[in-house]
Amino acid sequence: MRTETVKIEHFRADIMNDVAARKHIIETEANQKLEKEYNRKELEFLEEAYNIIQEGLKKIDREKTEVISKTQMENKVKLLNKRKEIIDSVFQKAKVRIKEYTKTEEYVTDLIAKIKEHMKFIGEGEYTIYINYNDKDLYKRIQDNFKDCKVFIERKYVDMLGGCKLLNTTTNIYLDDSIAKMLEEEEDDFLQYCKIEIEDEVGD
Which is more confident, 195 or 91? 91
pLDDT for the residue numbered 203: 47
Any domain includes 198: no
Whether residues 42 and 118 fall in one domain: no
Give 11-34 pLDDT, tens digit per residue. 666 666 766 677 677 778 767 776
Q: Looking at residue 170, which CATH number applies to its domain?
A: 3.30.2320.30
Any domain includes 85: no
Asked if residues 182 and 163 have their Cβ atoms less than 8 Å apart, the reply is yes
Any domain includes 113: yes
Residues 113, 124: Cα–Cα separation, whole Å: 17
Burial pattern 154-185, b for ≥16 Cβ within 10 A else e, equals: beeeeebbbbbbbbbeeeeeeeebbbbeebee
> Taking 50 as the threshold, does the pLDDT of residue 202 lie above it?
no
Asked if residues 202 and 75 have their Cβ atoms less than 8 Å apart, the reply is yes
Whether residues 129 and 179 fall in one domain: yes
0.75 surpassed by pTM:
no
**Closest C-alpha to 16, from 24, 27, 28, 4:** 24
> Among 53, 73, 93, where does a domain finish?
73
Least confident of 26-35, 91-100, 167-176: 26-35
Any domain includes 78: no
Mean pLDDT, the chain, rounded, equals 80
Domain that holds residue 20: 1-73
> Among 58, 73, 88, where does a domain finish?
73
> Taking 70 as the threshold, does the pLDDT of residue 4 lie above it?
no
Number of structural domains (the chain) is 2
Any domain includes 92: no
Give 105-141 pLDDT, tens digit per residue. 999 999 999 999 999 999 999 999 999 999 999 999 9
Residue 151 gets which letter from DSSP? E
Structure confidence at residue 90 as a pLDDT band (50, 70, 90): confident
Structure confidence at residue 92 as a pLDDT band (50, 70, 90): confident
The angle, 0 to 180 degrees and rounded to 10, between the axes of the packed helices 179-203 and 2-101 is 160
Which is more confident, 159 or 1? 159
- Residues with Cβ within 8 Å of residue 146, at least 6 apart in sequence: 115, 127, 129
Tell me the CA distances in angstroms from 37 to 30, 32, 40, 41, one per residue in order.
Answer: 10, 8, 5, 6
Whether residues 111 and 184 fall in one domain: yes
